[in-house]
Amino acid sequence: MFPVEVPLSHLGPPILLLLQLLLPPTSAFFPNIWSLLTAPGSVTHQDLTEEAALNVTLQLFLERPPPGRPRLRLEDYRGRTLLADDIFAAYFGPGSPSRRFRAALGEVSRANAAQDFLPASRNNPDLHFDAERLVQGRTLLVGALRETLVATRAFQHALARQRLGAALHALQDFYSHSNWVELGERQPHPHLLWPRRELWSLAQVGDPTCSDCEELSCPGNMLDFTLLTSGYFGVHPPKPAGKCSHGGHFDQSSSQPPRGGINKDSTSPGFSPHHMLHLQAVEVALLASIEAFSLLRSRLGDRGFSRLLDITPASSLSFVLDTTGSMGEEINAAKVQARRIVEQRQGSPMEPVFYVLVPFHDPGFGPVFTTSDPDSFWQKLNEIHALGGGDEPEMCLSALELALLHTPPLSDIFVFTDASPKDAFLTNRVESLTRERRCRVTFLVTEDPLRVQGRVRREVLSPLRFEPYEAIALASGGEVIFTKDQHIQDVAAIVGESMGGGLVTLPLEPPVFIPGETCVFAVDRLLRQVTIRMHGDISSFWIKNPEGVSQGPEEGIGPLGRTRRFGQFWTVTMTDPPQTGSWEIQIAAEGIPRVRVQAQTSLDFLFHYGIPMEDGPHPGLYPLTQPVAGLRTQLLVEVTGLVSRQNPEEGRPHFSHVVLRRVPEGTHLGRVPLEPGGPPERGLLAASLPPTLLSDSAPFSLELVGQDGGGQGLRRTAPQPCTVAPVLLELSGPPGFLAPGSKAPLSLHIASFSGPQDLDLRTSVNPSFSLTSNLSRAHLGQNESAWGRLWLEVPDSAAPDSVVMVTVTAVGQGASPVPPTHAFLQLLVLAQASQDQPETPAHSADRVLPPATPALLSSTLVTQDRAGGRVVDKAWWGTVGGVLFLLGCSSW
């Protein structure tokens, strides 16, 4: 436990009053908590990042009392472990979902941990304060913080969190990899975030810093306790005579005199020669991380800082609108719903925090409009009218892709149209982007797929022309709702109903609805506002609760709840609290009706995947956004809504296993036990995915099964189905920003672990900058890799503070059944000179963040052959080398 009395004068008032909070006792530091099997008792980058963020978030809550709720008291948190669920429930009210906040913290933590795994960053000494590269490391550190500020202000929240994770990793490494703690310092370096101040007393090239140490533990190997130094790692750059090594079993430089090392990454002497100072380094690194978060808060303001970390239970509002002449009713419906949402939620915790609007027609789409101001959004929406056009199809998917690039993760996007997509070739890429951004897409289509009259058509259109919408809805966890103009105003009410921050979809058994047969779903005591939505050619239905009480299709208030009908669209909202247990639905209909059951709850889960990295200098789980065929993969689950201050008699909900099903058929693929990954209050669970699942690229669903605190059944389903990537595809760029008029080299790497692959590699960039590549094809055998190089030219006219998205797609050649794999890379364009500098304390007017240096990361070898520039080699796949980040990588 860190003492509350620890001062940090240059931070000013009571920001560190929160440091009496306990760190997890069994939780460098090593990358993430999954590293602790190797070094129990160590504190990881993930721990430091989340603890610092929670400290500053609690400080914000203490300073800004919630409207209409009691002020939080610091004494209630003394001596307790800070948990996001607890402080959210205390501030926003019981049941307020913390899922978005937890997800944002996870993005920052995974970006932090990835610095130790990504090929482009793991061996760069400047990014880890190794090899006495202290001045260079500080330049990249403050550059990453500057990029965090700019990306946040540009509403590029995902990119901002990635850059923040990279900055925090470097900052924390300074205290573990340098001898700052060995010099007796117990406070963060006062000049590390302010590069116009000297770091002072830096060891020079000729200054010996370490003596020889042949033991694992090297407590007395520092020669000079006045000069600031850091250890060398590996062979690049080579260690000069007399210099300290990083140390540990996997550091090649530590076998060269002087042997040993000085890192404090863990409590294990096999990894950390200065393991005895690990907790001291942790203490200072935590203070420094809190300082960095506080600096961002002071510069962004509380509202901007809250957007950066998604400190809200509310969702964003994102509309994609067809503006052709036949869309008058649909546009009016969107306006009505937007106005209703703003008016009903204004001033409440559920008021949307961000608004996105993308219009489209043919042949154009956009521009995108983004704002955090509801009045500005309403004004822009009011300017949209149905004009011109009238023919089909339209540029719907291009507009949706643009919305996905600007909508925060874990958001709902609503598409209003009456036309099929002209740009259906984008379907697979948009599907992948919805998974990468974890956004749910709902299409409101005022066009029956079998109807042929209405719009002017250039050609006879297929009745299957709406299948791209169906595919994207399935991939994103959304739905396609067909209705008519006269009902769109009422059907569009699902926009508000779907925007609850705690909305979950309940699993149906069987998952595929068969008319005339009974379908079952389970309701637990943590669910509220249970709603059944049905649409199709339905003639009748009945719903039965666990006590045998039933309700039919009669509109109005019935014994179970309220029934509404709008054409072929039905909703039944159950009266709260709903009866717990097994409910039944039976429907009589022509064709296959669409059925969805949703409810509000604070108990939900987040998930991602990881590859075990057990044998290297930084063991842990390397994060992936989806499994990769042929690789041993862990499913990592984070349960949200586990409030520790609940009634002790109720007990704590827990999940015991995960059920895997094929999508959409619902075929049972297996049941895998979940193992806890830390203290139960953190809700961290892991499961090893079966190899048979990883051999098939078809989508599958995740369903967590367990019990609530009273021993009753509990089920939660992931909002989106998952897919297995056939290959591992990685795209990386420079660690800093792009400047107008520059040419940036990007690195591409592709590997196959499941068998031979014959692939075409296609590239695109948004906006349309010049992009060239020397790798257009890859012919891979099992466990083979290929490397390539791309060059991105940024024109002089590129807008500063803008974002560039580069996409690479690997597509199977010929009749290959391999589905496409996508890699997305976001890069920030900044002017060399910027006024966007952090505000500084009055007593330190020269503390200003300079422009970041866009130094290129070390690159891979590229040779030429008839297929284009590439080199094919055996991919060494252990648990240290060859691991690549699949999707969502950013430039570090």
Residue 878 pLDDT exceeds 70: no
**pLDDT at residue number 492:** 84
Neighbour-count burial of 76, counting CB atoms closer than 10 A to its CB (0-12 exposed, 13-18 middle, 19+ buried): exposed
pLDDT single digits (tens) 356-385: 999 998 788 999 999 999 889 989 999 988
pLDDT single digits (tens) 650-665: 678 999 999 999 998 8
Q: What is the token pair recorded at 194? A: 């302010």
What's the pLDDT band for 541 if we cut at 50, 70, 90?
very high
pLDDT single digits (tens) 23-75: 332 224 666 555 555 566 788 999 999 999 999 999 999 999 887 888 999 99
**Rounded distance between C-alpha atoms, residue 465 and residue 479, angstroms:** 16
**pLDDT at residue number 17:** 34
Answer for the pair 369, 356: CB distance below 8 angstroms, yes or no.
yes
Is the entire prediction scored with pTM above 0.85?
Answer: yes
Helix, strand and coil in the chain, % to nearest 5: 25, 25, 45
The pLDDT of 843-856, averaged and rounded, is: 28
**pLDDT at residue number 737:** 87
CA 740 to chain centroid, in Å, comes to 28
pLDDT single digits (tens) 385-416: 887 655 678 899 999 999 999 999 999 999 99
- Report which of residues 876 and 793 the model is more confident about: 793
Q: Is the dihedral of CA 155, 291, 312, 404 positive or negative?
A: positive
Residue 207 pLDDT exceeds 90: yes
Which DSSP state fits 764? E
Q: Longest Cα pair distance anywhere in the chain, in angstroms?
A: 88
Which DSSP state fits 8? -
Q: Which residues contact 697 (CB under 8 A, 6 or more apart)?
A: 629, 723, 724, 725, 726, 818, 819
What residue type is assigned to position 587 of the chain? Answer: I
**Rounded distance between C-alpha atoms, residue 415 and residue 443, angstroms:** 5
**Rounded distance between C-alpha atoms, residue 753 and residue 751, angstroms:** 7
Q: Average pLDDT of the chain?
A: 84
**pLDDT at residue number 95:** 83
Answer for the pair 48, 285: CB distance below 8 angstroms, yes or no.
yes
**Minimal CA–CA distance to 272: which of 618, 36, 622?**
618
**pLDDT at residue number 511:** 84
**Rounded distance between C-alpha atoms, residue 149 and residue 392, angstroms:** 42
The pLDDT of 835-842, averaged and rounded, is: 39
The pLDDT of 199-212, averaged and rounded, is: 95
Give SS3 for 264.
coil
